[in-house]
Chains A and B, each alone.
Chain A
Amino acid sequence: MLYQAEPMPVDVASPRRAVPGRTAVCRAAGLTLAALARLLSGASVRWIACQPDTCQRFYFANHTSHLDALLIWSSLPQPVRELTRPVAAKDYWSRGVLRRWLAEEVFDALLIDRTDIKVHQSPVDVMLREIGSTRSLIVFPEGSRSVTGDLGEFKSGLYYLAKKRPDIELVPVHIDNLNRILPRGEFLPVPLLSCISFGPPMWLEHGEAKANFLARARKAVQALKE
């Protein structure tokens, strides 16, 4: 197996930066973009059997649009938002000055190298090291944006995150209709209405098999569609 079985020490490395370290400009840019995204996507936010909380969480969601991470991030209340980092692909988000600035400074995204995965530096390890004992993550277990808008199969990263940090709540998130607002391959948005649903937190059951867990997590996201 690729991953070590023993749990990762929690505060082995401090978070890359203290939370209030972002400059006022980045903060303002983040707030503006979040407001703009909310306005453009007409998003209504539902918390179903779940409340916003500053405790450590992995938010896992379906992925259909570039706006997904931004929209989840912006629908969290301010204190929670400050602690939550979206996970994004390094090959896309480190290209160009603007993209890198947005990803690193404004959204404080955690950039994961999809192309160059090393055994001793797996994405899961990087994520766990970066969040320390305070930060939360937004992840998209499908790996990339779905073309049709249907929910694809989940990759195993979520399972390893849950296994190595069994204390962190896994919150399913479903994003509805955003694929029509900004579909894959389009850069101009159509301002329809969308809906973001946060579902009841779940955990990895003791001894639960990987396939079963991933199926259960996928079903949890799917269930929020109704």
Chain B
Amino acid sequence: MNDIRTIALIAGVLLLLLVATAVGQFLARNPDRGLNPAAVNAFNLRLRGWWIICTVLAAAFWLGTTTTVVLCGLVSFWALREFITLTPTRKGDHRALFWVFFLFTPLHYVLVAYNRYDLFSVFLPLYGTLFVLARVAMAGDYKRFLERTAKIQAGLVVCVYCLSFAAALLHVRIRGQDPANSGANFRLLFFLILLVQFADCMQYVWSRMAGRRPVAPEVSSTRTWEGLLGSATSTALLAAVLWWAAPPFEPWQAALVGFVVAVMGFAGGMTMSAIKRDRGVKDYGTLVVGHGGVLDRVDSMCFAAPVFYHLTWFVAGQ
């Protein structure tokens, strides 16, 4: 990964973060600028999250493909933890959940690490589902059976299956790239993360500045049609500008990918908001004092990663 594009991309992100941090600190030190201090605080908290994400990512990149897959697996594990914690389960689900956490999730990531697309693309949605259904039935508690199994399945698919496509990007073979050099794949992953985070941020900004019509006011009053369109357009623009960083794409393809990623990220955020609204909580991480949970950070990524993966494959795969 010692190529000029990777370094340029990392340097660019670092510069962006430094500038944003400087601005955030300046705003926090000078509260009498007519800006909402809560918004400034939220911005700074988010920024800190990005610093952590970028540092961990850089470390994982540096340590190699397998480390990154393992890291992604740990994030999945933690996200699933938060998901099931906030989803009411009954005692009859206990044994099924044990295997879901300690067998199915790790095994899925082993398949991803060995790049067995033929297996990992069906393992959780098919065999995971069959197992959960059968194990819960065998526990003998039939009350609201479909509802309970659906909860576990939804957690598995969103937190583990979908998120693992981000890690699987590292194994996509890109036309015209040396398979031994994984730099291009890392850039692809970085590109995806950047777009998802940017889309999240833009959605917030556009909704605040021009938001009129919430998509579903019952679910989230801050996610608006204007925010969705604005973020999709801005992300498409950013992707087109950064097309050189993502190996297989032409500028127009990159723009299209950016648009789709933003829309999918929005869908992920909406979905998680609906679940949180139903459970009456604001963050998945309310159990961890002081900051939102892991799932709050990766919800858009969960929805965007599979689509990005398949688009990449479609455009550039061998």
Q: Tell me, yes or no, whether B89 is within 8 Å of chain A by CB.
A: yes
Contact of B91 among A183, A194, A195 (CB under 8 A): A183
Q: How many A residues touch B, CB cutoff 8 Å?
A: 16
Q: Tell me, yes or no, whether B201 is within 8 Å of chain A by CB.
A: no
Main secondary structure of the interface of B (DSSP, over half): helix
Residues on A with C-beta less than 8 A from B84 are 190, 192
Indicate if the CB atoms of A192 and B94 lie closer than 8 Å: no
What separation, in Å, do the CA atoms of A9 and B218 have in the docked complex?
Answer: 63
Indicate if the CB atoms of A190 and B94 lie closer than 8 Å: yes
Residue numbers of A with Cβ under 8 A of B are 42, 44, 46, 176-177, 180, 183, 186, 188-195
- Given contacts A180-B89, A183-B91, A190 and B287 within 8 Å (CB-CB): no
What separation, in Å, do the CA atoms of A180 and B288 have in the docked complex?
Answer: 17
Task: Give the 8 A-B CB pairs with smallest separation, nearest first.
Answer: A190-B97, A192-B85, A193-B85, A193-B287, A188-B98, A195-B287, A44-B288, A190-B98
- Given contacts A180-B89, A192-B84, A193-B81, A44 and B95 within 8 Å (CB-CB): no
What separation, in Å, do the CA atoms of A77 and B95 have in the docked complex?
Answer: 33
CB distance from B143 to the nearest CB of A (A): 14
Residue numbers of B with Cβ under 8 A of A are 77, 81-82, 84-85, 89, 91, 94-95, 97-98, 101, 287-289
CB distance from B78 to the nearest CB of A (A): 8
Residues on B with C-beta less than 8 A from A190 are 84, 94, 97-98, 101
A-B contact pairs, 14 of them (CB 8 A): A42-B85, A44-B288, A180-B94, A186-B91, A188-B95, A190-B94, A190-B97, A190-B98, A192-B84, A193-B82, A193-B85, A193-B287, A193-B288, A194-B287
What separation, in Å, do the CA atoms of A192 and B95 have in the docked complex?
Answer: 13
Residues on B with C-beta less than 8 A from A193 are 81-82, 85, 287-288
CB distance from B296 to the nearest CB of A (A): 14
What separation, in Å, do the CA atoms of A193 and B289 have in the docked complex?
Answer: 12
Indicate if the CB atoms of A186 and B94 lie closer than 8 Å: yes
CB distance from B53 to the nearest CB of A (A): 20
CB distance from A152 to the nearest CB of B (A): 17
What separation, in Å, do the CA atoms of A188 and B97 have in the docked complex?
Answer: 10
Indicate if the CB atoms of A192 and B81 lie closer than 8 Å: yes
Of all chain B residues, which has the CB nearest A184?
B91
CB distance from A52 to the nearest CB of B (A): 16
Of all chain A residues, which has the CB nearest B77?
A191
Of all chain A residues, which has the CB nearest B288?
A44
Residues on B with C-beta less than 8 A from A42 are 81, 85, 287
